[in-house]
Amino acid sequence: MMKSRCYIVCLLLLFPFIGCKHSEDVNAQTDVHKEDTIRIITNKKPKPRPKLKADDISISKDLLYDKYTLDDVYPYKDTTRSFKWKIIKEQLAFIENIQRDKNTRWVVMQNYKNRNKEAPLVHKYRRNAYKRISDTLGVERYQSVPLYLPGDTLIPERYGPDGTLARIEKRVGSFVMISPVTIKGKWLVPSRYLKQLPDSTVFHHAIFVDRGDQNITTLERKSEGKWIVRSMNPATTGRHHPPYAQETPLGLFLLQEKKERMVFLKDGSAETGGFAPFASRFTNGAYIHGVPVNVPRKTLIEYSYSLGTTPRSHMCVRNATSHSEFIYKWAPTRQTVIIVIE
C-alpha cells in the first residue's frame, strides 16, 4: 500500500513539469504560425495602379505653330465645328495606359504597297466598291497584314491594317504572337510583316485628325496625364469616291516614314501627277502632307481655300504646307501616334 501511495505522489509531482513542456511547444508553434503569416503578408504583390480615364488627362496650350490657328469652337457656314477634346482625352488616356508596362516589346504591322508579300486570302472575303478584296470587316487585302488564329496557321482569319501598333507576346516558329492595341485578341503573324521597335520606344507625340470636322491638332506629353497642345489647324481628309479616292481610315496608327516630296501619279495612269510636300505616312498610302503641287508647277503652295471644308483627297490628310513642315520636323518617326477620329 505504501508503495502505491508513493507512486501516485511521484506522478503528481511530475505532472506540472510535463504540462509546462507541452505549453512551451504550443507557444513555439503559435510563434511559427505568426512568422508565416507575417511573411505571407509581406510578400504580397502591390496592387496595380488604376487605369487613367479621360478625366485624369490634363490638356493645356502652348503652341509651337501658330498660323491658321482655330478656336476650340469655330464657325463653319451656318453652323459650328470644334475640337473634340473629350474624345481626345479618352484616346490620350488609352495611350498612357498601353505604355505603362516598361517591359512591353512593340512592333508595327507593315505591308506598304505589298512590299512584304501580298496577304493570303482569308476564310471569308468580298469585293468592295473599289473592286478590291477585303475581309468581312472592310479591311482591304491590299497593303494589309494577315492575322491567323492561334489554332489555324493555314488560312488567315482577317486582315490587319498597315501601321497598326501591337505588343509582342511570344515567337511561335516562323510566326509571332501579337496583341494589337486596336484589335481584340491574340493573333499569329508571319514575322516578315512586323517591324520591331527599339526597347526604349515611348510615345510622347500624338496627332489627332478629325475627319468629321476636318481639323487636326498636335499634342506633346510632358508627364503622365499631362499633355500640351502644339497646333490647332484646318485639314482636309480623304473622300469615298471609287475607283481612286478613299476615305482616311479611322483608328490609331504609328508614324512610319517621311518624305520631303511624295510623288503621286495621275489617276489611272503611270504618269507623274505632281508631288505633296513634307509627307508623313501612317497607314497604307495615307500621308499627312502640305498642299499638293500639280505638274508642271514646281514651287510650293502655302495654303488652299479648301482646307477645313469637305473631304477631297485620295486618302491623305492635307494641311497648310508650313503646318505639314512643322509636323515633319516635330514628330519623330516610329515614336508618334496618329489617331483618326470622327
- pLDDT tens track for 143-180: 999 999 999 999 999 999 999 999 999 999 999 999 99
Together in a domain, 118 and 222: no
- Would strands 286-289 and 317-318 be described as parallel, antiparallel, or unpaired? parallel
- Least confidently predicted of 24-33, 89-98, 155-164: 24-33
Domain count, the chain: 2
Last residue of a domain, one of 196, 222, 244: 196
The overall average pLDDT reported for the chain is: 90
Where do runs of H (alpha helix) occur along the chain? 2-42, 85-98, 321-330
pTM, two decimal places = 0.86
Residue 170 pairs in a beta bridge with 177
| pLDDT tens, residue by residue, 285-333 | 999 999 999 999 999 999 999 999 999 999 999 999 999 999 999 999 9
Residue 270 within a domain: yes
Residue 18 within a domain: no
Last residue of a domain, one of 170, 196, 222: 196
Domain with residue 240: its CATH number is: 2.40.440.10
Instruction: Provide the grid cell at 86.
Output: 473629350
Together in a domain, 257 and 181: no
Cβ pair 293, 323 in contact under 8 A: no
Q: What is the C-alpha R_g of the chain? A: 31
Banded model confidence at residue 45, pLDDT cuts 50, 70, 90: low
**Nearest-CA neighbor of 59 among 227, 217, 269?**
227
Flag whether pLDDT at 14 surpasses 80: no
Residue 43 within a domain: no
* Residue range(s) defining the domain that contains residue 326: 54-99+202-341
Instruction: Provide the grid cell at 314.
Output: 485620295
Residue 324 within a domain: yes
Write down the residue that cell numbers 516630296 correspond to.
Answer: 261
| pLDDT tens, residue by residue, 49-82 | 899 999 999 999 999 999 999 999 999 999 999 9
Give the per-residue pLDDT at 17.
Answer: 40
Flag whether pLDDT at 188 surpasses 70: yes
Together in a domain, 212 and 293: yes
Residue 29 within a domain: no
Banded model confidence at residue 280, pLDDT cuts 50, 70, 90: very high
Exposed, middle or buried, 85 (CB in 10 Å: 0-12/13-18/19+)?
middle
Give the per-residue pLDDT at 44.
Answer: 62
Residue 25 within a domain: no
Cα dihedral across residues 7, 9, 12, 18: positive or negative = negative
Together in a domain, 216 and 324: yes
Together in a domain, 122 and 80: no
Together in a domain, 245 and 178: no
Domain with residue 132: its CATH number is: 2.30.30
- DSSP secondary structure string, 253-276? EE--EEEEEEEEEPTTSSSEEEEE
Listing from the earlier edge strand, what are the strands of the sheet with 251-254? 58-61, 226-234, 215-223, 205-210, 336-341, 251-254
Give the per-residue pLDDT at 13.
Answer: 40
Amino acid symbol at 252: L
Percentage of the chain modeled with pLDDT above 90? 85
Banded model confidence at residue 47, pLDDT cuts 50, 70, 90: confident
Longest pairwise C-alpha distance within the chain: 135
Together in a domain, 225 and 335: yes
**Nearest-CA neighbor of 215 among 226, 229, 227?**
229
Banded model confidence at residue 48, pLDDT cuts 50, 70, 90: confident
Cα–Cα–Cα angle for 323, 325, 327, nearest 5°?
75
Together in a domain, 268 and 225: yes
C-alpha torsion 35→37→38→44, nearest 10: 140
Banded model confidence at residue 20, pLDDT cuts 50, 70, 90: very low
What SS3 string covers 221-244?
EEECCEEEEEEEEECECECCECCC
Cβ pair 122, 135 in contact under 8 A: yes
Flag whether pLDDT at 28 surpasses 50: no
C-alpha torsion 276→277→282→283, nearest 10: 10
Together in a domain, 72 and 186: no
Residue 44 within a domain: no
Q: What are phi and psi of 37, to 5 degrees?
A: -65, -45
Flag whether pLDDT at 23 surpasses 90: no
Residue 22 within a domain: no
Cβ pair 318, 292 in contact under 8 A: yes
Together in a domain, 308 and 243: yes
Banded model confidence at residue 46, pLDDT cuts 50, 70, 90: low
Last residue of a domain, one of 173, 196, 219: 196
Rounded Cα–Cα distance for residues 261 and 274 (Å) = 9
Give the per-residue pLDDT at 24.
Answer: 42
Together in a domain, 222 and 328: yes
Together in a domain, 120 and 139: yes
- Least confidently predicted of 10-24, 113-127, 243-257: 10-24
